[in-house]
Chain A
Amino acid sequence: MHNDRLVIAGREFKSRLWVGTGKYKDFAETKKAIEVSGADVVTVAVRRVNITDRSKENLLDFIDPKKYTILPNTAGCYTVEDAVRYARLARAAGVSDLVKLEVLGDEKTLFPDTGGLIEAAKILIKEGFIVLPYTNDDPIVAKKLVDIGCPAVMPLAAPIGSGLGIRNPYNLKIIMETVKVPIVVDAGVGTASDAALAMEYGADAVLMNTAIAGAQDPIAMAEAMKYAVHAGRLAYKAGRIPRKLYATASSPIEGML
């Protein structure tokens, strides 16, 4: 498993657990949780600088961009125009062409507007962005995103922050069989078993924020997620036994009295 590296658009990643940086108590906790999780990809949002309180610390003082791949998102964008604008701002503020593209359809569910997502992805890919799209668990949309040039797709497990776990494992499995690029299961994970399941199904990575930051002990949960993702990946590679309805004895009958 030592060479089991994840490669997306020619970039190699050590960790198959990616984490968000929102909702933590403070930057110190954010930093500690990320360190413990072992993640080397961290998502960030782009927002106005607080110009009235100049003493305010900067996230990048805690998360070293030389050590981590900073993946800016277009969180909070409900239109193609907004998402494209935020992606461009993220590129201007950062160091790379990577963007986690989100075009949301609805404030209540935060489900992606997949039509807008494809449109925004096309524009950004043409501008040289490496677009990692946050999408629905829809195999047809996943295929379209890959066809237009996304080097990975990030289908949701469940609504953002819901902690419901994988609501449609069969769709995720179909996506994994349909597209040839890495699949990052993004959003909806509640606890370690959800992350392990995603990896056992064959996901290439799992991205989460609330499941760690919102846990009663975020640092302990970060560690749990690290092992869950690792265990799930190992189990996937090992190949599970088929499910059967009836028992098969493990101990031989031969030699019994």
Chain B
Amino acid sequence: MADPLQIQVNGESRDCPSGATVADLLRELDLKTERVAVELNLEILDRQEFDRRGLKAGDRVEILSFIGGGGPDDGWRRRVPTHAQ
């Protein structure tokens, strides 16, 4: 079996098995695909692409969903950085 690859998910380093897709990652994280948006290296993916898009070492994945919010003061400090660190 190939070595696991290291990727960044929501800013944190993480190992994922070689050959894994975005859908595999979501399954591993126990996230429902219909509730999230996924950005892979700043590209927003369609849901249909989740099981077609393979992950490679160094990929930066952002997984987002809806949280409580009304005005702009809600959690702006938790914003996703525009430029990956």
Which residues of chain B are within 8 angstroms of A54 by Cβ–Cβ distance? 29-30
B contacts with A, residue count (CB < 8 A): 36
CA distance A76 to B17 in the complex (A): 35
Evaluate contact between B68 and A22: CB separation under 8 angstroms: yes
Total residues of chain A contacting the partner, CB 8 A:
50
The interface residues of chain B lying within 8 Å CB-to-CB of A110 are 71-73
Interface string of A1-37 (1 = CB under 8 A from B): 0000000000000000001111110010010000000
Q: Which partner residue on chain A sits nearest B61 by CB separation?
A: A51
Chain B hits for A22, CB < 8 A: 67-71, 74-75
Interface residue B57 (Cβ < 8 Å from any Cβ of A): no
- The answer to whether A89 and B78 touch (CB under 8 A), given A45-B66, A47-B65, A48-B62, is no
Bound-state CA distance A251–B10 (Å) is 72
The residue among B12, B38, B68, B82 with the most chain A CB atoms within 10 A of its own CB is B68
* In the complex with contacts A82-B82, A90-B37, A20-B46 CB distance below 8 A: no
- Which residues of A come within 8 Å of B, CB atoms? 19-24, 27, 30, 43-49, 51-52, 54, 58-60, 70, 72-73, 75-77, 81-82, 85, 88-94, 102, 104, 107, 110, 134, 160-161, 187, 207-210, 213
Knowing A92-B38, A92-B46, say if A47 contacts B75 (CB, 8 Å).
Answer: yes
A160 in contact with B71 (CB, 8 Å): yes
Q: Are A49 and B64 in contact (CB under 8 A)?
A: yes
